[in-house]
């Protein structure tokens, strides 16, 4: 169990720093074009790992449609929106908004899957929403200070939350790690075609030849995206969604810290307050607090 927690800590660190990595990369390369190459690299790496693990196989005809359907939301829309949003907003804002993913996922489960939700969890959603508002109102202009980039990143969070509901309802018959590899690869092809339709010059990819950008790209694609997603899905199976959701708070903390250290962005008081609200919201809204209370009651009873 300790090994799983250490792996989760490493993944959260990589995901947090990946916000700064993407922010740097989109400043040099068209965000949609960059996303296609980053996701394709990650997808191929996941498929190679699946081959080494002995779980690789080609999907059947009916499985391709399921993979494409989920990939539209989980890969194509989510990764594209986050990349475009981070080009416009700050790394700190982006990291904090992405930290609401567990809350959005549970809320989607309530709306789409009709799962029961307690008043305690509902209070978590309210706290998380307040945290997002505190984060986005970073200027002195009130609502006018909200960046369109903040909105785009949040929409990216919403579509990924919806994709998790699709995975739950459609129940792909392949190993989830193999599904991840196919979704990333297939989604990358579609994203690339979209980038070309909007006139993104493919020659921009040559910017990655420069070793700093190239190293950042490989970190983002191979470690944060490929290794990170496979490890997180594995951890969910081993320790459960409640425990893994708690670690998302560290992802947000690392994202904000990374933006301050590597992007030299200023952490304002509203960012700190927003983070605390989001942290409490995730802890309560995902059921982690209920899980802790239940465990303590069981220990006392035994």
Does residue 118 register a pLDDT over 80? yes
What is the per-residue pLDDT for 242? 58
Question: In the predicted model, what is the mean pLDDT of the chain?
Answer: 87
Does residue 235 register a pLDDT over 70? yes
What is the per-residue pLDDT for 124? 86
**Number of compact structural domains in the chain:** 1
Model confidence band, residue 189 (pLDDT cutoffs 50, 70, 90) = very high
What is the per-residue pLDDT for 140? 44
Give per-residue pLDDT as tens, 244-268: 766 777 888 899 999 999 999 989 8
Q: Report d(CA 209, CA 259) in Å as an integer.
A: 24
Does residue 243 register a pLDDT over 70? no
Does residue 168 register a pLDDT over 50? yes
Q: Report d(CA 175, CA 299) in Å as an integer.
A: 35
More confident residue, 297 or 139: 297
Q: Report d(CA 247, CA 130) in Å as an integer.
A: 20
What is the per-residue pLDDT for 10? 93
Q: Report d(CA 181, CA 185) in Å as an integer.
A: 6
Q: Report d(CA 110, CA 209) in Å as an integer.
A: 46
Handedness of CA 162, 164, 169, 174 (dihedral sign): positive
What is the per-residue pLDDT for 289? 82
Give per-residue pLDDT as tens, 130-147: 888 887 776 544 544 568
Does residue 60 register a pLDDT over 80? yes
Does residue 193 register a pLDDT over 90? yes
- 36-50, 144-158, 205-219: lowest mean pLDDT where? 144-158
Give 28's contacts (C-beta < 8 A, 6+ positions apart).
204, 207, 213
Tell me what the mean pLDDT of segment 179-203 comes to.
93
Does residue 99 register a pLDDT over 90? no
More confident residue, 293 or 77: 77
Tell me what the mean pLDDT of segment 82-111 comes to.
88
* Residue 175: closest CA among 45, 79, 47, 71: 47
Which burial class, exposed, middle or buried, applies to 56 when counting CB atoms under 10 A from its CB (0-12, 13-18, 19+)?
Answer: middle
Give per-residue pLDDT as tens, 17-48: 999 999 999 999 999 999 999 999 999 999 99
Which range of 112-116, 182-186, 252-256 scores highest in mean pLDDT? It is 182-186
Does residue 237 register a pLDDT over 80? no
- 63-72, 113-122, 241-250, 273-282: lowest mean pLDDT where? 241-250
Does residue 234 register a pLDDT over 60? yes
Range(s) of the domain holding residue 150: 2-301
Does residue 165 register a pLDDT over 80? yes
More confident residue, 291 or 195: 195
* Residue 26: closest CA among 217, 170, 190, 184: 217
């Amino acid at each position: 169990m300790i090994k799983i927690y250490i792996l989760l800590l490493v993944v959260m660190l990589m995901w947090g720093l990946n916000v700064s990595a993407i922010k740097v990369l989109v400043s040099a390369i068209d965000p949609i074009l960059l996303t296609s190459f980053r996701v394709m690299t990650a997808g191929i790496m996941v498929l190679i790992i699946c081959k080494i693990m002995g779980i690789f196989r080609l999907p059947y005809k009916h499985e391709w449609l399921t993979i494409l359907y989920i990939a539209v939301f989980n890969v194509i829309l989510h990764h594209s929106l986050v990349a475009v949003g981070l080009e416009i907003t700050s790394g700190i804002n982006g990291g904090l908004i992405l930290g609401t993913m567990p809350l959005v996922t549970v809320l989607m489960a309530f709306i789409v899957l009709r799962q029961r939700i307690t008043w305690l969890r509902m209070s978590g959603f309210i706290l998380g929403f307040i945290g997002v508002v505190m984060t986005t109102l970073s200027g002195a202009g009130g609502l006018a200070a909200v960046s369109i980039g903040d909105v785009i990143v949040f929409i990216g969070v919403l579509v990924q939350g919806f994709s998790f509901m699709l995975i739950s309802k459609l129940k792909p018959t392949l190993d989830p790690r193999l599904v991840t590899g196919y979704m990333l690869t297939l989604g990358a092809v579609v994203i690339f075609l979209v980038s070309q339709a909007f006139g993104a010059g493919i020659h921009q990819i040559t910017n990655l030849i420069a070793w700093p950008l190239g190293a950042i790209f490989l970190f983002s694609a191979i470690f944060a995206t490929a290794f990170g997603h496979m490890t997180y899905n594995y951890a969910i199976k081993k320790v459960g969604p409640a425990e893994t959701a708690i670690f998302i708070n560290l992802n947000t903390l690392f994202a904000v810290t990374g933006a301050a250290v590597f992007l030299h962005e200023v952490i304002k008081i509203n960012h700190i307050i927003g983070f605390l609200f989001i942290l409490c919201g995730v802890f309560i809204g995902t059921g982690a607090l209920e899980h802790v209370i239940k465990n303590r009651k069981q220990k006392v009873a035994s």
